[in-house]
């Protein structure tokens, strides 16, 4: 189980102070501005850390159950053939995040409502809800230190909260990594927004960011250079890794309804003491190293890492790391794993992994039936790691090897007595994963 909050705080503050100045994390010159920003980000992360994470997992389980009950009643009026084919019928939202906003035709007039729909460890994220709407009108990305108004880069560096939307469909090729400041929402609803053939999105030493409704593919490693990360600061960056979304030392982050595929490095990487994160409703395809949570055995600051991975579809062409975890607590809930080539869930350094209500369909390769993969430890060591499976569905010979003691009874109160949905429902809960084709004036 997790250490007590006071012990973790003392240990990690000391570790963070020693470790952070030594880590590049894309920073070539770690100046005073970045030092202050990293310290502030870590304070917010520690405030967001939950000493008893089971309270968060149980709350999410309850909402999943309620949402799917309502969705199943609605589906009873739709033919089975319509559900199997590409769906063009009335809006059906099958999980609690989507039911909060997606089938309301006035979503475009009430975009900020989305911020009330977050669940899991990223449940406190509000993004740019307290700010103005900023409209991206220009897909270009030509100036890294003095970006033009109307571009995505100009919007994400502003100090005040902003809800960033897009005037029309566009393809954005980022010349260098996009460094996003705190209190921002990137909301692609109502347009087909594709980030491709350029750098990815970086959340470094920030908090309270929502990324929703965009597509990211063929993201590349870029050379680095002088890049502005706020209106008051720019600095020299090293070569970027080629991740679609990189989260460094950040907290209260929600990644939702993103379509991701075929990037040079990872699709979503979370490292360096990041916590309070939810990754939900995403569709991931055609990639090797899908998600990395914790980059090094030496980064014990990642003991505070708490991430919810829920309602995602892990689809065609994926190989491994869905996710690959170190140190922290990871709730993997009601995802649909229809493809992997090596393994689905892996880890090292004693992470706690609670897998609930997922559907795992193993590949036909007899050597790759195992869902779980453990690194850098003997069976005597990893047998103590808490990796537990509850209500998962195993198909085509898929096998989850549990370890460690049970995580414990989830602390349901009266009215919170329902169990998480079984993995047989995962395909319904993830049916609309990925970027949605939302049209103004109609339900998404």
Provide the residue-wise pLDDT of the chain in tens; the chain has 444 residues.
444 444 444 344 444 433 443 355 788 777 888 888 888 888 988 888 887 776 666 656 555 555 555 555 555 444 444 444 456 778 899 899 999 999 999 999 999 999 999 999 999 999 999 999 999 999 999 999 999 999 999 999 999 999 999 999 999 999 999 999 999 999 999 999 999 999 999 999 999 999 999 999 999 999 999 999 999 999 999 999 999 999 999 999 999 999 999 999 999 999 999 999 999 999 999 999 999 999 899 899 999 999 999 999 999 999 999 999 999 999 999 999 999 999 999 999 999 999 999 999 999 999 999 999 999 999 999 999 999 999 999 999 999 999 999 987 543 333 333 346 899 999 999 999 999 999 999 999
Residue 88: count other Cβ atoms within 10 Å of its Cβ: 6
pLDDT for 235: 95
Residues in a beta bridge with 27: 237
**Predicted structure pTM score:** 0.87
CA gap 269, 321 in Å, rounded = 10
Predicted local distance difference test score (pLDDT) of residue 243: 97
- Residue by residue, DSSP assigns 290-352 as -EEE---TT-GGGGG-EEEEES-EE-TTEEE-SSEEESSEEEEES-EE---SS-SEEEESS-E
What is the 3-state secondary structure of 345-385? EEEECCCEEEEECCEEECCCCHHHCECEEECCCCHHHHCCC
CA 256 and chain centroid, separation? 7
Instruction: Give the active site residue among 99, 189, 237, 321.
Output: 321
> What pLDDT, on a 0 to 100 scale, did the predictor assign at position 3?
43
CB contact set of 259 (below 8 Å; sequence gap of 6+): 214, 215, 216, 217, 282, 283, 284, 434, 435
| Residue 24 confidence (pLDDT) | 57
Residue 188, preceding peptide bond in cis (omega within 30° of 0): no
Token pair, residue 283, equals: 């569709």
* Residue 82 CB neighbours (<10 A): 13
User: How far is Cα 71 from Cα 68, in angstroms, rounded to an integer?
Assistant: 5
Listed in order, strand segments (DSSP E) in 126-199 are: 132-136, 162-166, 170-172, 178-179, 184-187, 193-196
- Whose tokens are 């502030």? That residue is 40
321 carries an active-site annotation: yes
So what's the pLDDT on residue 63? 54
Go through the chain and tell me how many residues it has.
Answer: 444
**Secondary element (H or E) of residue 63:** helix 54-75
Question: Token match 């990815």: residue?
Answer: 200
pLDDT recorded at residue 52: 74
């Amino acid at each position: 189980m997790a250490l007590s909050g006071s012990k973790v705080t003392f240990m990690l503050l000391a570790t963070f102070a020693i470790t952070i100045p030594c880590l590049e994390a894309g920073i070539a010159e770690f100046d005073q501005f970045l030092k202050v920003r990293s310290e502030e980000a870590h304070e917010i992360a520690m405030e967001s850390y939950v000493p008893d994470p089971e309270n968060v997992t149980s709350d999410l389980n309850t909402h999943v159950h309620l949402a799917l009950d309502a969705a199943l009643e609605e589906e009873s009026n739709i033919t089975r053939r319509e559900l199997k084919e590409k769906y063009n019928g009335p809006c059906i939202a099958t999980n609690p995040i989507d039911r909060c906003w997606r089938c309301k035709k006035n979503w475009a007039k009430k975009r900020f409502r989305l911020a009330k729909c977050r669940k899991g460890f990223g449940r406190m994220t509000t993004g740019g809800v307290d700010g103005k709407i900023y409209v991206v009108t220009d897909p270009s990305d030509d100036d890294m230190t003095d970006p033009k108004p109307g571009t995505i880069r100009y919007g994400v560096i502003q100090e005040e909260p902003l809800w960033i939307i897009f005037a029309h469909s566009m393809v954005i090729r980022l010349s260098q990594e996009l460094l996003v400041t705190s209190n921002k929402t990137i909301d692609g609803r109502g347009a087909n927004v594709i980030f491709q053939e350029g750098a990815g999105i970086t959340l470094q030493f920030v908090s309270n960011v929502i990324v929703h409704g965009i597509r990211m593919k063929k993201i590349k490693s870029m050379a680095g250079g002088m890049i502005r990360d706020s209106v008051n600061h720019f600095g020299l960056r090293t070569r970027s890794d080629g991740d679609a979304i990189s989260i460094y030392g950040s907290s209260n982050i929600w990644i939702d309804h993103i379509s991701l595929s075929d990037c040079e490095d990872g699709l979503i990487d979370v490292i360096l003491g990041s916590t309070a994160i939810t990754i939900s409703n995403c569709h991931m395809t055609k990639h090797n190293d899908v998600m990395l949570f914790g980059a090094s055995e030496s980064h014990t600051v990642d003991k505070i890492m708490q991430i919810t991975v829920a309602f995602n579809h892990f689809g065609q062409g994926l190989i491994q790391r869905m996710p690959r975890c170190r140190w922290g607590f990871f709730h993997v809930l009601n995802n649909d794993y229809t493809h992997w080539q090596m393994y689905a869930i892996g880890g090292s350094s004693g992470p706690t992994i609670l897998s609930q209500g997922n559907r795992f369909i193993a590949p036909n390769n007899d050597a790759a039936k195992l869902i779980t993969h453990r690194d850098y430890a003997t069976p005597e060591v990893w047998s103590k790691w808490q990796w537990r499976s509850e209500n998962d569905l195993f198909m085509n010979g898929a096998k989850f090897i549990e370890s460690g003691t049970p995580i414990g009874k989830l602390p349901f109160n009266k009215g919170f007595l329902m169990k998480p949905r079984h993995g047989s429902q995962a395909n319904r809960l993830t049916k609309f994963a990925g970027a949605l084709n939302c049209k103004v004036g109609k339900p998404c």
